[in-house]
Amino acid sequence: MEESIEWVEKYRPKSLSDLVGNKKSIVDMREWAESWLSGVPEKRAVILHGPAGVGKTSAAHALAKDFDWETIELNASDQRTAGAIERVAGSAAKMSSLTGTSTKRLIILDEADNMHGNADRGGARAVGSIIKTTDQPIVLIANDLYGLTPSIRSSCIELKFNSVQGRSMIPALKKICVEEKIMCGVGVLEKLADNAGGDMRSAVKDLQAVALGRDEIYIEDIATSERDTKESIFKALGKIFKSTDPKSALQATYGLDETPENLIHWIDENLPLQYGTQEGTEEDLITGYRHLSKADRYLGRVRKRQSYRLWRYAGVLMTCGTVVSKSHVSRGFTKYQPPSFWRKMGQLRSKRDMRDNIASRIGDHCNESMRYSRTDLAHLYGRMLKDDAYAVDVAVNLDLNVDEMVYLTGGKKVTKGIQKINDLAQAQRSTYGNDDAPVFFEKKAVKKVQDKKQMDLNQIMQSAASNGNSKAEETSKTVNSAPKDDPKPDQKPAAKAKPQRTLFDF
């Protein structure tokens, strides 16, 4: 039974002092937890972000044990919709602990950057609202920091967990071997640490796999190879802009979880920041964009012909071309920015959704199509919003909020006049009933004129029943009026059958 227990769980750190590596982040995490002992701090949640297997989840549970806090955990296997998070984490953030004491309850949300799809609908918005109102500490765990919304990141303390160095893994692996009474040969633990690629959890799993059924381990027994690790986009950009070796820059893009369609936007956004900041580098910037334009041609051919083999040429041009474009290497730290093109596309999409939403309400109000309301009627309602005589009535009947009024009037920000209209509209909505609409926007009841010639199903069935009854009465009258002894009238003589014509008659 001992061999069936995973060593990752068996030797999971019980305290923050047992964690390997990331000492600075652990100290900051402890200071944040200590601030909860004197009340509710300004930042009520903390984000532990970094690659997999570096101790983020273990640090959260070790923190709870050090401070004697209860834990409530939600991971990716749980349903994390808005209702589920409000029911579990929301109630935990407001209620006292299970024991009834005044100890805190640590809420752990694992893989917080993977809340997508119908199973997690509305989860990110619920997390953001809980963080702002919680009375209990919250720990969010994520591999990708930018997978969280900006509102959540601004409300939390960000703590980076880096990959664990190999020399830091060796003492922890040696301690496990002593506990399991396993003898290791020279270089075994060093080999396991190097193959793990900074993943402490993988190193422990490899050690357990090699030691299965053995009392002694030699370097020849290690059958695992180095793991494929995903390259960060920021590290890849650093190799593209800072290095002079095109081959190493191209190899750095192979480990990216980005397509060439996305990578070209990253390079396009940061190329002026890297090559256009110093005097005399204008030619480097021009040459870099010349290579990017050629790469974009290949990407266009991929979209048109669906020939994804051309991606290799686009990747070489955008990476190697950028490397060879610079005349000298710039030193110092450069903060790389995400593509502004994505942000603009998101803003345009939100504006289109707002435009269609307003047009739909105008169409319902005027009994017109959505297209006609969007192209011809929206600007008329915008002009009425600028008129004090109709502004409040328009806002009430179309149920407009502040942002929608700014969009209709063509403004860029909320003014005092629009805020005043919004306040008056809210006050008017609270006083109006269901039938108390302004006269200008009152909907007149349309009387349906029924065609007299046209009958519905009930009328057809009633008329059929009445016709049947009348016919039955008439037949009964004729039968009763006819004498019983009268002989039956003579029947008409049957028509004589025509003789059959033969062939000779033609």
User: To the nearest whole number, what is the mean pLDDT of the chain?
Assistant: 78
Measured at the alpha carbon of residue 316, what is the angle toward residues 310 and 319, in degrees to the nearest 5? 135
Q: CB atoms < 10 A from the CB of 385, how many?
A: 25
CA distance 15 to 20: 11
- pLDDT category, 426, cuts 50, 70, 90? confident
- The DSSP secondary-structure symbol of 390 reads T
**DSSP string computed for 85-153:** HIIIIIHHHHS--TTSSS--EEEEETTGGG--SGGGTTHHHHHHHHHHH-SS-EEEEES-GGGS-HHHH
The mean pLDDT value for 377-403 works out to 87
Does the pLDDT of residue 443 top 50, yes or no?
no
What is the model's pLDDT at position 467? 66
Read off the pLDDT of residues 118-165 as tens digits, 9 standing for 90 and up: 445 556 777 888 888 888 888 999 888 877 888 888 889 999 998 888
Least confident of 110-114, 153-157, 192-196, 374-378: 110-114
What is the model's pLDDT at position 502? 44
Is 321 marked within a binding site? Answer: no
What is the model's pLDDT at position 29? 92
Q: What is the dihedral of CA 143, 147, 152, 158, to 10 degrees?
A: 40
What is the model's pLDDT at position 225? 55
The mean pLDDT value for 32-50 works out to 89
The mean pLDDT value for 29-56 works out to 89
Identify the three-state secondary structure at position 474: helix
The mean pLDDT value for 402-409 works out to 87
Cα 348 to its chain centre, rounded Å, is 18
User: pTM for this one?
Assistant: 0.52
Does the pLDDT of residue 318 top 90, yes or no?
yes
Q: Which residue has the higher pLDDT, 330 or 480?
A: 330
Is 420 marked within a binding site? Answer: no
Q: Which residue has the higher pLDDT, 425 or 464?
A: 425
Q: Residues 66, 15: contact at Cβ < 8 Å? A: yes
What is the model's pLDDT at position 365? 86
Is 54 marked within a binding site? Answer: yes
Q: Which residue has the higher pLDDT, 229 or 212?
A: 212
Does the pLDDT of residue 63 top 60, yes or no?
yes
What is the model's pLDDT at position 122? 57
Does the pLDDT of residue 74 top 60, yes or no?
yes
Q: Which residue has the higher pLDDT, 59 or 232?
A: 59
Does the pLDDT of residue 99 top 60, yes or no?
no
Nearest residue to 73 via CA among 82, 60, 86, 83:
60
What is the model's pLDDT at position 296? 94
The mean pLDDT value for 293-309 works out to 92
Is 55 marked within a binding site? Answer: yes
Residue identified by tokens 């060879």 is 324
> For domain 8-160, is the CATH number 3.40.50.300?
yes
What is the model's pLDDT at position 279? 63
What is the model's pLDDT at position 444? 45
- pLDDT category, 503, cuts 50, 70, 90? very low
What is the model's pLDDT at position 465? 66
Q: Which residue has the higher pLDDT, 62 or 114?
A: 62
Is 448 marked within a binding site? Answer: no
What is the model's pLDDT at position 479? 46
- The DSSP secondary-structure symbol of 221 reads G
Is 57 marked within a binding site? Answer: yes
Q: Which residue has the higher pLDDT, 397 or 445?
A: 397
- Domain boundaries defined on the chain: 8-160, 166-221, 233-338, 342-438
Does the pLDDT of residue 447 top 60, yes or no?
no
CA distance 100 to 475: 91
How many CA atoms lie within 13 Å of 314's alpha carbon, on the beta-carbon side?
23
Fold of the 166-221 domain: Helicase, Ruva Protein; domain 3 (1.10.8)
What is the model's pLDDT at position 413? 81
Least confident of 85-89, 298-302, 393-397: 85-89
Q: Which residue has the higher pLDDT, 437 or 181?
A: 181
Phi, psi angles (nearest 5°) of residue 49: -125, 150
Does the pLDDT of residue 21 top 80, yes or no?
yes
What is the model's pLDDT at position 504? 40
Does the pLDDT of residue 214 top 90, yes or no?
no
What is the model's pLDDT at position 464? 66
The mean pLDDT value for 32-46 works out to 89
Identify the three-state secondary structure at position 81: coil
Does the pLDDT of residue 107 top 70, yes or no?
yes
The mean pLDDT value for 247-263 works out to 87
Does the pLDDT of residue 217 top 90, yes or no?
no
CA distance 414 to 200: 52
Least confident of 369-373, 426-430, 488-492: 488-492
Read off the pLDDT of residues 260-291 as tens digits, 9 standing for 90 and up: 999 999 999 988 888 866 666 788 888 999 99
What is the model's pLDDT at position 291? 93
Q: Identify residue 337 by its one-letter amino acid code.
A: Q
Cβ density class 195-223: b for 16+ within 10 Å, e for less: bbbbbbbbbbbbbbebbeeeeebeeeebe
